[in-house]
């Protein structure tokens, strides 16, 4: 028993005071596991606990024991065992845990079962707004907004009793509180682990303020995209349709399910020659933009006149990521323009060119003729 620091007096006293040398936090578990083995409920006894060495230093001891003799009734008669000082092993274990916490790419805390923060990395200090080395020692409840703080301790105890890892924000929105009292949305993942006979919780925290802002903007954009009166068609770099809005369906007759996955040739009318499309794609390649009048075809086969605007969205490396086409039908407008032009240039009774048309064409012919000296 030299490893425990017992002297001759303790030896003569049959080590009856050995329980007083065990750390109070470890004694209950030590005695429970030892008694369970003595009763025959386990094949071997093994326990890690702290003992007070020479009345001044706590050292970690691994005790292994085995009952080697029992009475006919099963009562333990003799037990043998070994004890090993594992303090250095424990210190190395804590160094490894510290490296994991401080080396994490996420904000991370190591929280004791009673809620006290043991470790916190620099990312955690940054998002919570605390000065370096000031988070350890605080209770984790100080990082919880006041309205939720009263229930947090009970929730934390319930989580420890479940002893399973899980994301805390999977089903509801969570907020944390910075040192200055401001609140911000977070995602939290909790992983319980046992260290030195105690339950600890590795807590990973992500500040999702920016993500929520982007999601909100995307939601607004989606609402505008669906509510806008013009038809919208989004294609990828291969000209495969990836999204359309309701106005597209109303104008073309193609539903979202029918259009997505098809090429942009889905609406091609066949009324334009190669030169037209060559000019269109050249403009897109050079400027990322094209606009103009075009003939397209509905699902019914009807050809209609539309005004089309195409813009290109580029990726971070300058590559084409998306092309966004916005278009509206101008068939009726073109018909009205044609009717107005005919009324201005042709006699409604004879359908012959009127004086205005005569002078216009005469002027054109004069321009074409050679100039006389």
User: In this structure, is residue 212 part of a structural domain?
Assistant: no
Q: Are 107 and 206 in contact (CB under 8 A)?
A: yes
Q: Do 27 and 67 sit in the same domain of this protein?
A: yes
2 pLDDT band, cuts 50/70/90, is: low
Does the pLDDT of residue 355 top 70, yes or no? no
pLDDT digits (tens, 9 = 90+) for 26-41: 999 999 999 999 999 9
Placement of tokens 């060119």 in the chain:
353
User: In this structure, is residue 113 part of a structural domain?
Assistant: yes
Question: Would you state the pLDDT for residue 232?
Answer: 92
Query: How many domains does the chain divide into?
Result: 4
Instruction: Cite the DSSP H helix spans in 68-189.
Output: 87-102, 122-128, 146-162
Question: Would you state the pLDDT for residue 33?
Answer: 94
Q: Are 20 and 12 in contact (CB under 8 A)?
A: no
Question: Would you state the pLDDT for residue 197?
Answer: 83
Assigned token pair, 318 = 């300058």
Contacts 24+ apart (CB under 8 A), 137-145: 139/114, 139/115, 140/109, 140/111, 140/115, 140/116, 140/203, 141/115, 142/177, 143/176, 143/177, 144/176, 144/177, 145/175, 145/176, 145/177, 145/183
Placement of tokens 């048309």 in the chain:
357
Q: 46-50, 162-166, 248-252: which range is least confident on average?
A: 162-166
Question: Would you state the pLDDT for residue 226?
Answer: 73
Residues 6+ apart with CB under 8 A from 172: none
Question: Would you state the pLDDT for residue 353?
Answer: 58
Question: Would you state the pLDDT for residue 373?
Answer: 46
Q: Do 155 and 67 sit in the same domain of this protein?
A: no
User: In this structure, is residue 214 part of a structural domain?
Assistant: no
Q: Do 174 and 242 sit in the same domain of this protein?
A: no
Does the pLDDT of residue 67 top 90, yes or no? yes
Assigned token pair, 172 = 């509801």
Exposure on the CB side of residue 174, measured as CA atoms within 13 A? 18
Question: Would you state the pLDDT for residue 45?
Answer: 94
Placement of tokens 């479940």 in the chain:
162
Question: Would you state the pLDDT for residue 132?
Answer: 94
Q: Which residue has the higher pLDDT, 4 or 214?
A: 214
The chain-wide mean pLDDT, for the chain, equals 85
Question: Would you state the pLDDT for residue 334?
Answer: 62
Does the pLDDT of residue 81 top 60, yes or no? yes
Among the candidates 52, 70, 85, a domain finishes at 85
User: In this structure, is residue 223 part of a structural domain?
Assistant: no
Question: Would you state the pLDDT for residue 348?
Answer: 61
Write out the H or E segment, with its range, that includes residue 12: helix 8-12
Question: Would you state the pLDDT for residue 15?
Answer: 47
Q: Do 74 and 108 sit in the same domain of this protein?
A: no
C-alpha separations of 35 from 20, 64, 76, 337 in Å: 17, 13, 10, 101
- Residue 38, domain extent: 2-85
85 pLDDT band, cuts 50/70/90, is: very high
């Amino acid at each position: 028993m030299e490893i425990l620091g017992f002297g001759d007096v303790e030896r003569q006293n049959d080590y009856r005071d050995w329980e007083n040398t065990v750390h109070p936090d470890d004694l209950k578990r030590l005695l429970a596991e030892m008694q369970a083995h003595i009763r025959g409920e386990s094949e071997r006894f093994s326990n890690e606990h702290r003992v007070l060495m020479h009345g001044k230093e706590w050292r970690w001891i691994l005790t292994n024991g085995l009952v080697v003799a029992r009475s006919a009734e099963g009562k333990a008669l003799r037990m043998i065992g070994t004890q090993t000082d594992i303090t250095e092993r424990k210190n190395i274990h804590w160094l490894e845990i510290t490296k994991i916490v401080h080396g994490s790419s996420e904000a991370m805390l190591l929280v004791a079962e009673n809620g006290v923060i043991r470790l916190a990395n620099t990312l955690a200090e940054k998002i919570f707004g605390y000065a370096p080395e000031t988070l350890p020692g605080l209770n984790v409840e100080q990082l919880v907004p006041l309205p939720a703080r009263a229930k947090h301790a009970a929730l934390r105890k319930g989580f420890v009793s479940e002893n399973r890892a899980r994301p805390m924000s999977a089903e509801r929105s969570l907020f944390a509180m910075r040192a200055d009292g401001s609140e911000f949305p977070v995602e939290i993942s909790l992983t319980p682990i046992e260290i030195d006979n105690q339950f600890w919780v590795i807590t990973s925290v992500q500040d999702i303020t920016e993500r929520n802002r982007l999601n909100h903007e995307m939601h607004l954009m989606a609402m505008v995209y669906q509510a806008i009166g013009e038809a919208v068609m989004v294609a990828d770099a291969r000209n495969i349709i990836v999204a359309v809005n309701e106005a597209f369906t109303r104008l073309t007759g193609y539903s979202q399910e029918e259009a997505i996955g098809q090429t942009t040739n889905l609406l091609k009318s066949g009324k334009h020659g190669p030169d037209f499309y060559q000019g269109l794609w050249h403009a897109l390649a050079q400027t990322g933009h094209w606009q103009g009048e075009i003939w397209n075809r509905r699902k019914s086969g009807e050809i209609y006149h539309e005004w089309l605007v195409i813009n290109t969205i580029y990726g971070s490396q300058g590559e084409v990521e998306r092309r966004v086409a916005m278009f509206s039908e101008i068939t009726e407008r073109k018909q009205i323009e044609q009717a107005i032009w005919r009324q201005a240039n042709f006699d409604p009774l004879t359908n012959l060119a009127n004086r205005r048309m005569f002078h216009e064409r005469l002027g054109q012919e004069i321009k074409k003729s050679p100039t006389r000296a």
